[in-house]
Amino acid sequence: MSVSWNWCSVLFFLIFSTPFSLLVDARSQSFDYPTAKLSTKWVNSPSTPHSVAFTDGSTVRAILLRGTFGPRYACGFFCNGACDTYLFAVFIVQTNSASSIVAPAIGFPQVVWAANRNNPVRINATLELTSRGNLVLRDADGTVAWSTNTNGKSVVGLNLTDTGNLVLFNKKNAAVWQSFDHPTDSLVPGQKLVEREETYS
């Protein structure tokens, strides 16, 4: 019994004496950006400021992040494995108190919604919230991989809610389009599965 307690003490010491900086991906940066305005474009590039690689082979390139410290929702480009192709997705990541995405040895990102599951894109693909309120994902060659088809519907911005719902909203803050109405990977707390809808994985 004393051997067990000794090992627990050693393990406890090692965990808490490890410099916190070793647990945080050096390339991650502090941010908490849950919204975006019209005429904003993001590029799926390794030089993206909020690109984090995980030891399970997955990589996230966050565009929006909601909240600080602990498991939080983010959206952006996601890949797993060789990272030849990427999804535009909402995923759960771990963040520290500075709102930096961390890459722990456990607790890898979990995709809860993906726009282009059957049509992944490559490096240098773009996501654009156009001046007319359409959210458009284009592959590196410019072909449209996915779109919300919300041109001219009075969209003024994009918001990632604290429940993981990606929302295009109008000037009254009412949802014009939302990911919760298009479930793909899983249901999250606060989301309702409407009759005749189903999730796809």
Residue 201 lies in a domain: no
- Domain of residue 50: give its range: 35-181
Is the pLDDT score of 115 beyond 80?
yes
Residue 17 lies in a domain: no
Q: What is the pLDDT, as a whole number, of residue 27?
A: 39
For the chain, how many structural domains are there in total?
1
Q: What is the pLDDT, as a whole number, of residue 147?
A: 98
Residue 191 lies in a domain: no
Q: What is the pLDDT, as a whole number, of residue 154?
A: 97
Mean pLDDT of 163-176: 97
Q: Report how far apart the first and last C-alpha atoms of the chain are (Å, whole number).
A: 47
pTM here is 0.79
Mean predicted lDDT score pLDDT of the chain = 82
Residue 12 lies in a domain: no
Residue 29 lies in a domain: no
Please report, for the domain that includes residue 113, its CATH number.
2.90.10.10
Which tens digit of pLDDT belongs to each residue from 27-79?
Answer: 344 456 899 999 999 999 999 888 999 988 999 999 999 877 888 999 999 99
Residue 22: strand, helix, or coil: helix
Residue 21 lies in a domain: no
